[in-house]
Amino acid sequence: MSENAAAAPGWPAMSIEDAHKLLTGPGSPLEMTTVEIAGIPTRVHKETPPNLRFVFDKGREWGDREFIVYEDERLTYADHYRAATALGRALLEKYGVKKGDRVALIMRNFPEWSLAFWAATAIGAVIVPINAWGTGPELEYAISDSGSKVVIVDQERLDRLRPHVKNLALEGLIATRTPADELGVAEALEDIVGKPGEYAKLPDDELPDPGLEPEDNATIFYTSGTTGKPKGALGTHRNICNNLLNAAAGQARSFLRRGEMPPAPDPEGPQRVMLLSVPLFHATGCHSILVPNYFSGGKLVIIHKWNPEHALELIDRERVTTFGGVPAMVWQVLESPMFDKFDTSSVEGIGYGGAPSAPDLVKRIKQQFPKVHPSNGYGLTETSSITTQNLAEDYVAKPDSAGPCVPTCDLRVVDENGKDVPAGQVGELWIKGPNIVKGYWNKPEATEKSFENGWFKSGDLVRMDEEGFVYILDRAKDMLIRGGENIYCVEVEDALYAHPAVMDAAVVAIPHKVLGEEVGAVVQVAPGKQVTEDELREHVGKLLAAFKVPKKIELRHDPLPRNPNGKILKTELREDMKKYAEGAA
């Protein structure tokens, strides 16, 4: 029993199942109906916005309300709409972008990221957000694989991409926040929309209607692949818009579980202020933060580079009501020696997901933010972010769970033969709902392997209790998560194998309190060869993004342990890395 439940006799006042029935019944704002998606009957919220163009136009209604705060820049909804419209018109008229064409977006969290996202999706183009931490070859691969017609970047990504432009069939390359003498073949975004602070001078008009349907393609988010090459998850307008009401359903469920009626949305109420601390190029940042905040008239406060002390300063200055990201960031804020020097009383919610979290994190949150209802969740790129939510008293009661699924989703826990297992037993999590992407772009075999009759096979090993609360135990896929970034072990192993001194290699997770997991590697050095740990790290760093470089590489001359089938016994190696982590702590 949680401390909250003990303080509120009778909690929970309603079961999860009954709460969902009440929330989604006839006449409710979250009422559900059934539609066919790819021939499969699927539950959806009846009032889900039909597409992102609808959401974009609604944002115009918020007028002079602040939308984005970045450093000393402040951008209103009205000015954002004008600038995004100007960019959308340039994509249509200057670069010939048509409905269904791909537009790649590679930059850090600048306000221009939002401009590009809404400009492209509003005209019916498919936006391709690419991991801004990728190397030049990684960026080239995603642009080429997606067939992007136009690429929009910041200066750092332009510099990284410059040697690869000759290999790409682009109609346009647009760069923002880049000095004129550094543009090269790129056009300055500022020549299209003006500089920040000048957007009010742009025309206040609308873009042509692209005639979007809910199942039209909207996004391609690349997710690490077990073959070493990322796979582009092809998302639809329905996938993303469905997320808007899923988030609301979780909050409303918490009120019902508490024995209270959820408050009606109040457009005239105090503005919600979200500290944006996760990358927009991930589904969490885009689908669960950018789009819902835009739709509801919230304010996004962008932190240039994550720093817990600067985060506390922004929480104080901007009166932030919600922050979070991955558990690592929450831990860093809680443990900052500067915590007591800032006013954090405006904070009402702390949410996180995307990485393993220690159960005692919720206790620390309640100690330092007594009025806050913490939340955790589970989702994947392929599920368009939210799949399960664990909020408020439920989270305090079951801090090691990712929560029950949202009302529009169905979950199965299956054995290796695809048969359902009883509650409490371990199996692979399969997910079905309107949030499941169409498949992987240009990869029919990978799509066939992971998607079956509307179900997505997550590869995550879980157990589910009688109430439907999901507990993430392990990953069937050979993957680790470092501070919210998915890293497939084979990708790092391939980079290690490319070094002539490496005979055998295995990559495993090192437990880390803040990041969740770090990258660890065990290498068998080839006979007659010599190599140091630092040399191997430098080698991997030339091939992969910095966050994929192993923190620890153990060098061995004996063969790595294997089972009779020749598979490396990573369980043994994980134990070795766990001992290393305990010694380094």
Which has the higher per-residue pLDDT, 95 or 580?
95
Give the domain 479-584 fold: GMP Synthetase; Chain A, domain 3 (3.30.300)
Q: What is the 3-state secondary structure (H, E, C) of 159-195?
A: HHHHHHHHHCCCCEEEEECCCHHHCCCCEECHHHHCC
| Residue 268, C-beta contacts closer than 8 angstroms, at least 6 positions apart | none
Among 40-54, 307-321, 541-555, 563-577, the minimum mean pLDDT is found in 563-577
What pLDDT, on a 0 to 100 scale, did the predictor assign at position 23? Answer: 95
Q: Mean pLDDT throughout 239-255?
A: 92
The SS3 call for residue 281 is: coil
Q: Any bridge partners for residue 403, and if so which?
A: 470
Length of the chain as a residue count: 585
Contact 559, 499 (CB under 8 A): no
Q: Quickly list H helices, 171-290.
A: 190-193, 237-257, 283-285
Q: Confidence class of residue 1 from pLDDT cuts 50, 70 and 90? A: very low
Judge whether residue 5 has pLDDT over 70. no
Give me the helices (H) in 3-51, please: 3-7, 16-23
Residue-averaged pLDDT of the chain: 92
Domain boundaries, the chain: 3-49+235-475, 77-212, 479-584
Query: 147: exposed, middle or buried (C-beta count within 10 Å: 0-12, 13-18, 19+)?
Result: middle
Q: Does a cis peptide bond (omega within 30 degrees of 0) precede residue 12?
A: yes
CATH assignment of 3-49+235-475, among 3.40.50.12780, 2.60.120.10, 3.40.50.2300, 3.40.630.30: 3.40.50.12780
Least confident of 20-34, 140-154, 419-433, 502-516: 502-516
Instruction: Tell me if 3-49+235-475 shares its fold with 479-584.
Output: no
Asked if CATH classification 3.40.50.980 holds for the domain at 77-212, the reply, yes or no, is yes
What span, in angstroms and rounded, lies between the C-alpha atoms of 123 and 90? 11
32-52 pLDDT tens trace? 999 999 999 999 999 999 999
pTM (predicted TM-score): 0.86
Q: Which tokens go with 425?
A: 């037993």
In 48-171, the DSSP E strands lie at: 66-70, 73-76, 102-106, 126-129, 150-154
Instruction: Report phi then psi at 183, rounded to 5.
Output: -70, -40
